[in-house]
Structure 1
């Protein structure tokens, strides 16, 4: 209901008085508010000026003292440091796709972690605490001990390396960056999956992840390439029908398992279908294991002439990486498969410490000693007599390592395939075995690097089926991984080193 006011003099005068009263009331309320605010501020000032009682400090009492006093439980919270370079960002693929191919989802900007990131990761006790038996029981500080630059340099020097080792690794990774193909792969020919896998292992060993400022995009593209292959094909390979697919798939699986572990343990945003492909890839390896514990060409899981220690070694590494990453396969138990693999490896050791290409002493080779020993270490059998024999052979026979001298698979000086395994086996064992081997390989590998970061190509021990570009990638990664051994163990390979 509205009130109509006529425009008479009386009405206008009444309206004027009403406005005056309203204005006076508003002014009064404003003054009252200001007064109350002043009083509040005054009280706050008085309270702040009152001295606090000294803090009470409670100390633990001896048993029996003040038994009626309850002691509150204190929980310590560790907060991960934030990045000191907020402007440095990289693009990461988020895991929200469920298609049967690796789908690149909308880009998400994520801050790059600083090298202080490792202080917020609690994974292991680190290196240098082992008993020297190399019995692969866990993965000591695999992430925290390779991601912090200061700690990495400390590990290098403590374990017999030099600052030049770190410089050589960075130069090598920059060289590899330039070799990446447009689709994210490395290498050429039929084995891009394994060449991409071993390159990713070299990057991950240096804690280069999808979040890395300099190499993050390269790592992300490489992982995506392998995930895409794994979604499209029954194995991670561009050539699923190849006899040598047992290498292609195993090396690629090994790399993806390490990438999965990094993403999970360092809170890196996931990559679409990464976990799905890793589980599928591990299932394929478990399904391909032969009854005698080894693996064969073409992933033929029956006893046949094509089962050999070289193929077995790469598949053992992949399974160990999967076990460390907490992968839950659907085709069997990883630990059961590793026990069976150890049984096969034991059948390949010779009385003099060499390991044979095939079980029961067929075609013994110096180049397979490290494969046999490392496989036994990874399966938790580093103290077996077979492993000890192999380590004795390594200690007694590899006196020097000269880059590019000699030829053939039996040349113990320049076969990088052999030394890739032996360096890790010796590091896991520690003691005098590592001390002597470190002297043999360190300066020789450093001396084989050229100014552009690549390694010279006059060494031996490469797969004959690799083409020129892939051979260069393979050689580069083997040499790089050897120099990264000072701070990087393959997943679960040992308990640490024991310097002599």
Structure 2
């Protein structure tokens, strides 16, 4: 048994070398002395932006409030930590309303599939719509000290001994994407829907590079899109949006949205707090309107550990680790490793993760929060970053405790199995190295294969699509055309909402239209976002 209920064993965190500090960006007195940055790097983009005199006012605010935070930390250090506020961004619910409709025979054909050109970055038309001005800030070499390595016997890359073929990013390469979509079951219509969704996201990016669930506050939207969300974590919303661009093969170095992706990555990296446990991507100021520092109250929340949760960290960490894994940009390696290290140290003694890190509020893990952390660690491993072997062993024990004999998975100890949790648990088993012949995995996949896409619950649809795609077979052949055509036909086609989706269910209101749009886009990207784990797909260009 790796842990007991309500208890926490003493585990020393994976640490950085002394002296690691958050990045400080300064405008040089003499721009001519700045070395010419490399073309296409995050560092180069930021230097150009800074030398143009467009640095933000956050430096002054940061210096002032750092003093406040340090003072308050002395005041609150000896106080007992309060229970973490449990804000669930996208929890699981039972699948109730399934999709079942007649398919247009022509719509399912993938003959002649061509990747459409990205649409113009204007979505719909309104009299008061704001024109987007893309300002390309970039990350200035957030180099952090290397983490202290564990003994060699206790560290491995995920691919050994948890070795599996597939699951990589090669399908996302722009030269491979068409072939992967054709081989996997995509159509010209589904690819056009992806591109329209990305155009909508680009049109709703904030000037600081972030995305927000609150569309009413978005200067580029101003509430012209219905179904605005209210969850205030900018790292969660920015991470979700970036995952959509990365899933389509569009990075800060390649594709038509380089500046958009670059600005988003900069926002995540700037939002990271470097701690002794790694890089924390929970939004420090999520209680502030527009993401601005509200002053003393935010500082108090930061010291007390209140506010954002591990959902946000896992989503943002997944975006950073994917971006690094796809580009191997040296400016991203430090932030990506720090984000992964924080996940490692946040793991509970039972092997799972929940709303707050285990070193803050020891508790039992849950499957939904754990799913994002596992995928971020998987991407970190694909990029050659360090993930301790012990982390995977603890995860295995946690999944064993959540698994039922019939292959379904619970939400947490004492909970009930649901379609979403079963899909997440199965996906974690797959990326953790279980062969498709494993008895419990086979049972779970078979059970999931009897389900149909849900009309509103995109969280279930997203994870089930990933599992069915990896498993293949008759279940995937039934699921894919239903899911694909439902999303193609339900996408908004008019006005400022053009290219987006919204599905009303009890929990989608928190993330609103931006959340459901991101989940729909990633679901349609399934054919190339991760290559199949259990079968090989021949691509023309590697």
Task: State the TM-score, normalizing by the size of structure 1.
Answer: 0.64
Name the counterpart of 1:160: 185
Name the counterpart of 2:342: 284
Q: How many residue pairs are counted as aligned between the two chains?
A: 348
Match runs of 1:429-440 below 5 Å:
429-440=471-482
Name the counterpart of 1:314: 372
Of residues 336, 354, 367, the one that matches 1:296 is 354
Of residues 416, 426, 446, the one that matches 2:458 is 416
Tell me: CA distance 1:342–1:224, structure 2 relative to 1, closer, same or farther (3 Å).
same
Q: Is the 8 A contact 1:147 1:207 kept in 2?
A: yes
Aligned counterparts of 1:497 and 1:425: Cα–Cα separation in 2: 16
Of residues 319, 326, 330, the one that matches 1:262 is 326
Name the counterpart of 1:494: 533
Q: Is the 8 A contact 2:420 2:459 kept in 1?
A: yes
Deviation at 1:177, TM superposition (A): 0.2
Tell me: CA distance 1:438–1:282, structure 2 relative to 1, closer, same or farther (3 Å).
same
Name the counterpart of 1:30: none
Match runs of 1:363-442 below 5 Å:
363-383=416-436, 384-398=438-452, 401=453, 412-442=454-484
Aligned counterparts of 1:243 and 1:433: Cα–Cα separation in 2: 41
Deviation at 1:348, TM superposition (A): 1.6
Deviation at 1:226, TM superposition (A): 0.4
Match runs of 1:76-91 below 5 Å:
none
Tell me: CA distance 1:303–1:270, structure 2 relative to 1, closer, same or farther (3 Å).
closer
Of residues 343, 349, 365, the one that matches 2:403 is 349
Aligned counterparts of 2:163 and 2:471: Cα–Cα separation in 1: 10
Aligned counterparts of 1:294 and 1:483: Cα–Cα separation in 2: 28
Of residues 14, 29, 47, the one that matches 1:105 is 47
Deviation at 1:213, TM superposition (A): 4.9
Q: Is the 8 A contact 2:409 2:421 kept in 1?
A: yes
Tell me: CA distance 1:337–1:285, structure 2 relative to 1, closer, same or farther (3 Å).
same
SS, match of residue 169 in structure 2? coil
Q: Is the 8 A contact 2:508 2:515 kept in 1?
A: no
Q: Is the 8 A contact 1:426 1:433 kept in 2?
A: yes
Q: 1:402-430, CA deviations, whole angstroms, 9 ceiling, x for partnerless residues?
A: xxxxxxxxxx4431001111111111111
For the pair shown, which has the larger CA radius of gyration, 1 or 2?
Answer: 1
1:237 matches 2:275:
no
1:457 matches 2:502:
yes
Q: 1:127-177, CA deviations, whole angstroms, 9 ceiling, x for partnerless residues?
A: xxxxxxxx971445623x32235x422322222221111111111100100
Q: Is the 8 A contact 1:382 1:388 kept in 2?
A: no
Match runs of 1:6-405 below 5 Å:
92-95=40-43, 104-106=46-48, 137-139=164-166, 142-143=169-170, 145-149=171-175, 151-187=176-212, 188=214, 189-231=231-273, 234-239=279-284, 241-242=305-306, 244-264=308-328, 270-271=330-331, 274-301=332-359, 305-328=363-386, 333-359=387-413, 361-383=414-436, 384-398=438-452, 401=453
Name the counterpart of 2:512: 471
Deviation at 1:335, TM superposition (A): 3.5
Q: Is the 8 A contact 1:291 1:301 kept in 2?
A: no
Q: Is the 8 A contact 1:254 1:321 kept in 2?
A: yes
Q: Is the 8 A contact 1:206 1:484 kept in 2?
A: yes
SS, match of residue 297 in structure 1? coil
Task: State the TM-score, normalizing by the size of structure 2.
Answer: 0.59
Tell me: CA distance 1:222–1:455, structure 2 relative to 1, closer, same or farther (3 Å).
same
Tell me: CA distance 1:191–1:306, structure 2 relative to 1, closer, same or farther (3 Å).
farther
Q: Is the 8 A contact 1:290 1:303 kept in 2?
A: no
Higher helix proportion, which one? 1
Aligned counterparts of 1:299 and 1:202: Cα–Cα separation in 2: 26
Question: What is the alpha-carbon root mean square deviation over aligned residues?
Answer: 2.9
Aligned counterparts of 1:208 and 1:195: Cα–Cα separation in 2: 18
Gapped runs of 5+ residues in structure 1? Answer: 1-89, 97-102, 109-114, 116-134, 402-411
Gapped runs of 5+ residues in structure 2? Answer: 1-37, 51-114, 116-161, 215-230, 285-301
